[in-house]
Structure 1
Amino acid sequence: MKPQAFVVEPDAYPRPLNVVGEQITVLAPNAATRGYEIFLQRGEEGSGPPPHFHDWDESFYVTKGNVEISYDDKTVVAGPGTLVHLPAGTVHGFHFGAGGGEMISVTSANGQAAYLFTTIDSEIPAGPLDVPKVIDVAMRCGVTVPMANA
């Protein structure tokens, strides 16, 4: 089936998913694009995932605030207008800076980020973080958290 053109206006965004303190809106899942995925990610100061890696490329474009992004042995503080691209298999993590922030993220073909975010939202309740449960969900969705294997 040929992919169809589509438009997603702000008043038609789906409900943001609660992903370990971040609010992630799925703007374009790979089912709609037949390939890549696009997300709007918003986070309070300090929120963000621990170092992890997966089998899909991921790019972040910061639109508000500052985001501290670590990859390999580097750390950058990305402000509005900054693009960071991370190839599949790159160990990376990030945290939103003072006052929180917002960014657009895009995954490459065959990414499972939408599945990961939806599963975390449905299986991990708000409140104190159940780290073993988050790691279990991540692993089921194709994400490896190296510190969990230490």
Structure 2
Amino acid sequence: MNRQPIVVFPDSYPAALNVVGERITVLASRHDTGAHEVFLQQGPEGSGPPPHSHPWDEVFYVTQGEIAFGLGADQLVAVPGTMVQIPAGTPHWFRFGAGGGQMVSFTGKGNASAMFAHFDREIAPDAPDLGKLVAIAQAHGAKLEVPMPA
């Protein structure tokens, strides 16, 4: 396969996916690149995923706001200009701080874009079904660490 350079200008971004209140724009999927994926992630205050892990590496670069990260047993607050790299299999989470925030993320050897699109299609952002959320994550190789409803 002879891949070509990819250039995505802001006025040609694809529609953002709504993943439980967070807006995720797929700038480049594994299908586009042959390997990694690139996302623009924007979230309102308090949004972000529960503790989870997946079989792909992930890198976040904070561009706006403060974003709290949980990395295994450690926690930190990332400000604009901070880069956070998470190896595959590492439990982690994040929460957008006061006023919300924005970051660019990169994944390697995964298919997060397909998982995000699946969440966007199947999960109501304002009243997510946790059982369905867990099942979709598992179908894409990720593991969410959320309590299951009784």
Do both share a fold (TM > 0.5)? yes
Using the TM superposition, give the Cα deviation of residue 94 of structure 1 relative to its aligned residue in structure 2, in angstroms.
0.4
Q: Matches of 1:90 and 1:20 in 2, distance apart?
A: 22
Kindly provide the amino acid, as one letter, of the partner of residue 121 in structure 1: D
The residue that corresponds to 1:53 in the other structure is: 53
In structure 2, the gaps of 5 or more residues are: none
CA-atom RMSD, angstroms? Answer: 1.1
Using the TM superposition, give the Cα deviation of residue 127 of structure 1 relative to its aligned residue in structure 2, in angstroms.
2.6
Kindly provide the amino acid, as one letter, of the partner of residue 38 in structure 2: I
Q: Matches of 1:143 and 1:87 in 2, distance apart?
A: 13
The residue that corresponds to 1:43 in the other structure is: 43
User: Superposition pairs for residues 62-77 of structure 1, below 5 Å?
Assistant: 62-77=62-77
In structure 1, the gaps of 5 or more residues are: none
The residue that corresponds to 1:8 in the other structure is: 8
Identity among equivalent pairs (%):
49
Say if 2:65 and 2:100, in contact at 8 Å, map to a contact too: yes
User: Superposition pairs for residues 1-150 of structure 1, below 5 Å?
Assistant: 1-108=1-108, 110-148=109-147
Runs of 4+ in 1 over 2 A off after TM superposition: 146-149
Using the TM superposition, give the Cα deviation of residue 147 of structure 1 relative to its aligned residue in structure 2, in angstroms.
3.6
Q: Report Cα offsets for 1:18-66 as digits up to 9, x if no partner.
A: 0011000000001111100000000000000000000000000000000
Q: Matches of 2:32 and 2:122 in 1, distance apart?
A: 24
Using the TM superposition, give the Cα deviation of residue 125 of structure 1 relative to its aligned residue in structure 2, in angstroms.
2.5
Normalising by structure 2, what TM-score?
0.95
Say if 1:135 and 1:148, in contact at 8 Å, map to a contact too: no
